Amino acid sequence: MNVHTSLSVDAAHEKVLVTFKIENRGERRAWLPRTIASAEGLTGRLFDVSEHPGGAEVPYIGPWVKRGPLTGADFFELAPHSAHTHTIDITPFYDFKPGMHTYQIRYQGEGLADVKQLEATTALATDAVMFSHTAP
């Protein structure tokens, strides 16, 4: 797969809005998990969030949903030479400390080059992004 992934964060107004962008720069379709492509909320720890400096993990406090093995329906198709952007409000899902703090966030997941070969995953990862957030 010839894909590029990135994150951006808008932490204004006491919310942490994370925008995930993926670009398919290749000639073939790619598939990414619907959890990152279109989810309204989180059902598990989707992002690695840590304090900066220090690197202490920010605990995930949202729901954990157990599920069976993934199927093709769990993936979002991305056409060749196209991009997809999706924003998720992660504020209620991570235990951000009260007051103003600096954090870093990254995404590490997997995508597919062929939705018919669910075991043949390709790593999808973003660089870490730093942001400041003021929690009540």
Question: Per-residue pLDDT tens for 28-70?
Answer: 999 999 999 998 899 999 999 999 999 999 999 999 998 889 8
Enclosing domain of residue 42? 3-135
pTM of the predicted protein model = 0.93
pLDDT at 89: 97
Contacts 24+ apart (CB under 8 A), 106-110: 106/7, 106/47, 106/48, 107/5, 107/7, 107/20, 107/36, 107/46, 107/47, 107/48, 108/48, 109/32, 109/33, 109/35, 109/36, 109/46, 110/33
Number of domains in the chain: 1
CATH classification at residue 37: 2.60.40.2970
Question: Per-residue pLDDT tens for 70-93?
Answer: 899 999 999 999 999 999 999 999
